Amino acid sequence: MPFRFIRPRGLSTASLRRGPFYVVASVELGNTTTKCIIVATDLRNGRMYELAKVVRPTRDVRPPAPDEEVFGRTVVGVPLTRESVSEFVRDVLLATVDRARLDLSHDLHFVVRSTGVTAGFARPEEVGEMVKALADGCLSAGISPRLMTASLTPENLPPGIRDFTWLRKVYFDGAIAGCLPPADTGVVANEMEGELVTAGIKGAARSAGVDFRSPVITLDFGTTLAGRVTDASLPYAKTVGSFAGLAGAIPDALARGSDLVDPETGTALELPRPSGTLDDGTSGIEEDVERVHGLIRVQRVAKGRTRFGTVPVDPRAAEEAGLVLVGVDVGDNGSGLAVLTEIGREVYDRGGVRLLTLLIDLVQVGLVERIMKVVDASGLLLRGTSLGLTGRAILTGQKPRLLAQRLRAPDGSLWADTRLLVLVEDGLAMGAGVAARCMNSLGTPRNPIGGRRGDGCIMAQRMRLQGERRGNGG
Ligand X SMILES: Nc1ncnc2c1ncn2[C@@H]1O[C@H](COP(=O)(O)OP(=O)(O)OP(=O)(O)O)[C@@H](O)[C@H]1O
Closest CA to 424 of 257, 275, 206: 206
Q: What are the φ and ψ backbone dihedral angles of 129, each rounded to 5 degrees?
A: -60, -40
Distance CA 215, CA 388 (A): 11
Bridge partners, 45 (sequence order):
none
DSSP H helical ranges for 279-411 = 285-295, 315-320, 337-377, 392-395, 399-406
Angle between helices 337-377 and 399-406 (to 10 degrees): 40
Closer of 364 and 441 to Mg ion (Cβ): 364
- Out of 269, 353, 377, 439, point to the residue binding ligand X (CB under 6 A): 269
Q: What is the dihedral of CA 168, 170, 175, 178, to 10 degrees?
A: -120
- Report the site for ligand X in 118-147 (rule: CB under 6 A): none
Minimum CB–partner distance for residue 394 and Mg ion (Å): 12
Bridge partners, 244 (sequence order):
327
Chain Cα centroid distance, residue 467: 33
The DSSP output letter for 146 is: G
Would you call 406 exposed, middle or buried from its count of C-beta atoms within 10 A (0-12, 13-18, 19+)?
middle
248 scored as a contact of ligand X (CB under 6 A): yes
Minimum CB–partner distance for residue 218 and ligand X (Å): 13
Residue 252 site contact among ligand X, Mg ion, none (CB < 5 to 8 Å, cut-off depends on kind): ligand X
Closer of 175 and 254 to ligand X (Cβ): 254
- Out of 8, 46, 116, 400, point to the residue binding Mg ion (CB under 5 A): 116
Would you call 105 exposed, middle or buried from its count of C-beta atoms within 10 A (0-12, 13-18, 19+)?
exposed
Binding mask 224-243 for ligand X (x = CB under 6 A): x-------------------
Minimum CB–partner distance for residue 190 and ligand X (Å): 8
Query: Integer distance in angstroms from the first to the last C-alpha of the chain?
Result: 44
Closer of 96 and 223 to ligand X (Cβ): 223
Bridge partners, 24 (sequence order):
39, 110
30 scored as a contact of Mg ion (CB under 5 A): yes
Residue 233: other Cβ atoms inside 10 A:
15
- Identify the sign of the CA torsion 462, 465, 468, 469: negative
Residue 396 site contact among Mg ion, ligand X, none (CB < 5 to 8 Å, cut-off depends on kind): ligand X
- Out of 165, 396, 398, 440, point to the residue binding ligand X (CB under 6 A): 396
Binding mask 365-394 for ligand X (x = CB under 6 A): --------------------------xxx-
Distance CA 81, CA 411 (A): 49
310 scored as a contact of ligand X (CB under 6 A): no
Distance CA 315, CA 302 (A): 7
Q: Which residue is nearest to Mg ion (CB)?
A: 222
Closer of 133 and 360 to ligand X (Cβ): 360
Minimum CB–partner distance for residue 186 and Mg ion (Å): 20
222 scored as a contact of Mg ion (CB under 5 A): yes
Distance CA 189, CA 121 (A): 9
- Out of 26, 151, 214, 267, point to the residue binding ligand X (CB under 6 A): 267
Please tell me the count of residues contacting Mg ion according to CB under 5 A. 3
Please tell me the count of residues contacting ligand X according to CB under 6 A. 22
Residue 392 site contact among ligand X, Mg ion, none (CB < 5 to 8 Å, cut-off depends on kind): ligand X
SS3 170: coil
Binding mask 184-223 for ligand X (x = CB under 6 A): --------------------------------------xx
Binding mask 12-51 for ligand X (x = CB under 6 A): ------------------xxxx------------------
Closer of 218 and 441 to Mg ion (Cβ): 218
Residues that bind ligand X (CB under 6 A): 30-33, 116-117, 222-224, 248-249, 251-252, 267-269, 360, 391-393, 396-397
